[in-house]
């Protein structure tokens, strides 16, 4: 399986790279601004670096040749999502996993929902919702990850999922858990993650705000 990670120099991008190399036999293209300066190739047989911006359709299209799955590690930029979608269509790639944020369907109830809207801002939530909508349609085999508030904790890969239409639960989740979820999605053979928009959080964190606030 050939996986293209867009925004690969970001925190989850780096963790997902490491988890995918360790747990699968996939080959990876790590796409980022100045990837060749910022990223190291752990295994040259399986990893290739690609310098580029997420809005650069020709460069994106070039690096999508032969790709089975695209993971987009950037939530909020509609122009970038449209460019990626255009490149995917040109290269004939349908499978996409996309980082997004909680709240884009107004699905976060109670005090945590209010806190989240105040912290993120209604305009920003609307902007990310529009960007996410670029892929949430029949043209793509999408998995949207509505990530709750992120933190880092080595070894903590616990996550729980809610489906679209269900109330969002959980105020925090580790980036390590999101990396593990990406591995679980690309290795699932039964299609259970296809055409899904998933709320992603850590079990037993259904609080009014994350523990680190």
Ligand X SMILES: NC(=O)c1ccc[n+]([C@@H]2O[C@H](COP(=O)([O-])OP(=O)(O)OC[C@H]3O[C@@H](n4cnc5c(N)ncnc54)[C@H](OP(=O)(O)O)[C@@H]3O)[C@@H](O)[C@H]2O)c1
Where does this chain bind ligand X (CB under 6 A)? 7, 9-13, 32-33, 53-55, 73-75, 77, 80, 99, 101, 147, 149-150, 175
Are the C-beta atoms of residues 116 and 108 closer than 8 Å to each other? yes
DSSP of 145-170, one letter per residue? EEE-EEE--TT----EEE-TTSPP--
CB 188 to ligand X: min, Å = 21
Candidates 13, 74, 24; CA nearest to 49 is 13
Nearest CB to ligand X, comparing residues 7 and 170: 7
What distance in Å separates the CA atoms of residue 207 and residue 197, rounded to the nearest whole number? 22
Nearest CB to ligand X, comparing residues 5 and 93: 5
Q: What is the 3-state secondary structure (H, E, C) of 50-70?
A: EECCCCCHHHHHHHCCCCCEE
Nearest CB to ligand X, comparing residues 45 and 198: 198
- Token pair belonging to 90: 């040109």
CB 159 to ligand X: min, Å = 13
Q: Which residue is nearest to ligand X (CB)?
A: 10
CB 140 to ligand X: min, Å = 18
14, 37, 28, 162: CA torsion to nearest 10? 30
CB 200 to ligand X: min, Å = 9
Nearest CB to ligand X, comparing residues 93 and 102: 102
CB 189 to ligand X: min, Å = 26
Residues sharing a CB contact under 8 Å with residue 25, sequence separation 6 or more, in sequence order: 1, 46
CB 110 to ligand X: min, Å = 18
Using the Cα atoms of residue 58, residue 59, residue 65 and residue 70 in order, give the sign of their dihedral. Answer: negative
Nearest CB to ligand X, comparing residues 77 and 141: 77
Nearest CB to ligand X, comparing residues 53 and 127: 53
């Amino acid at each position: 399986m050939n996986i293209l990670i867009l925004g690969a120099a970001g925190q989850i991008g780096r963790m997902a790279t490491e988890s995918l190399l360790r747990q699968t036999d996939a080959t990876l293209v790590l796409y980022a601004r100045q990837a060749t300066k910022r990223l190291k190739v752990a295994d040259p047989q399986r990893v290739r670096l690609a310098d580029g911006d997420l809005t650069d359709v020709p460069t994106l299209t070039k690096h999508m040749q032969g790709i089975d799955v695209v993971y987009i590690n950037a939530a909020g930029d509609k122009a970038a999502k449209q460019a990626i979608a255009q490149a995917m269509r040109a290269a004939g790639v349908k499978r996409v996993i996309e980082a997004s944020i909680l709240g884009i369907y107004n699905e976060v109830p109670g005090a945590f929902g209010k806190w989240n809207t105040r912290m993120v801002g209604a305009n920003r939530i609307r902007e990310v919702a529009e960007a996410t909508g670029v892929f949430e349609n029949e043209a793509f085999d999408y998995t949207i990850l509505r990530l709750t508030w992120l933190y880092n904790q080595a070894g903590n890969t616990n996550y729980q999922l809610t489906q679209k239409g269900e109330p969002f639960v959980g105020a925090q989740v580790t980036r390590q858990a999101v990396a593990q979820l990406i591995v679980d999605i690309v290795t699932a053979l039964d299609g259970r993650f296809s055409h899904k928009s998933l709320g992603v959080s850590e079990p037993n964190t259904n609080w009014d705000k994350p523990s680190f606030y």
